[in-house]
A and B are shown apart, each in its own frame.
Chain A
Amino acid sequence: NAGVTQTPKFRILKIGQSMTLQCTQDMNHNYMYWYRQDPGMGLKLIYYSVGAGITDKGEVPNGYNVSRSTTEDFPLRLELAAPSQTSVYFCASSYRGKHGYTFGSGTRLTVV
């Protein structure tokens, strides 16, 4: 059982570059989320999706985009990377939002 798989695990970007953080889950969960984690700040919601074709903004969406073409995949796109986007990014999924989330192991992104 793979659960939630995130790639890559680490990445260094230059300012202004773009990249896509990949997230896939094999639990047939319809709800998926992207969070960023900064030291001492907890987890902040970037975007979420309650099903294929449906996405919505979370608390800190600026500078990011998402798509949800399938139930399994929920990629996060960074356009024009900025140093403020240096963070650890977590993807998570849940069954209709109940019983908490299953998290991926994270992507550590550094923008220099």
Chain B
Amino acid sequence: GQQLNQSPQSMFIQEGEDVSMNCTSSSIFNTWLWYKQDPGEGPVLLIALYKAGELTSNGRLTAQFGITRKDSFLNISASIPSDVGIYFCAGLDLMGSSNTGKLIFGQGTTLQVKP
């Protein structure tokens, strides 16, 4: 089946540093999404991308939809301790003609921030 390769698997950074993570796929997606999961909670949507080449920001977060439609990246600038968590990329499944809305998720990037 479709898979997303997300990297890096984990990051341990100093507060104030910038962070970059990315996802690649062997398949084309028409929507890329980035989620954050805090410990003991469900994932929460950070950014949604709908067009190839689209660059979208949400505060200190910036994400881009790759022009090949097979990749996306997420940047976090000037990290703070509350950025700690697991970040997931997800692509909207385009298989078949029916829209089932099924998302394919990356394996996640665990971010730790040292104050």
Task: Tell me the A residues contacting B by CB distance below 8 Å.
Answer: 4, 31, 33, 35, 40-43, 45, 48, 50, 56, 58-59, 90, 92, 94, 96-106
Contact = CB atoms under 8 A, between A and B. Distances in A.
Contact of A96 (B4, B99, B106): B99
A26 to B, nearest CB: 16
A105 B42 contact: yes
25 contacts: A4-B42, A33-B101, A33-B102, A35-B105, A42-B4, A42-B107, A42-B108, A43-B43, A43-B88, A45-B103, A48-B102, A58-B102, A59-B1, A90-B43, A92-B42, A94-B101, A97-B92, A97-B102, A100-B31, A100-B33, A103-B42, A103-B44, A104-B42, A105-B41, A105-B42
B102 A96 contact: no
> Which has the most chain A C-beta neighbours within 10 Å: B33, B42, B44, B102?
B42
Interface of B: 1, 4, 6, 9, 31, 33, 35, 40-45, 48, 88, 90, 92, 99-103, 105-108
A93 to B, nearest CB: 10
Nearest to B46: A100
Contacts of B33: 100
Contacts of B4: 42
A109 B112 CA distance: 26
Contact of B48 (A40, A41, A100): A100
A31 B92 CA distance: 14
Contacts of A43: 43, 88, 105
Contacts of B90: 100
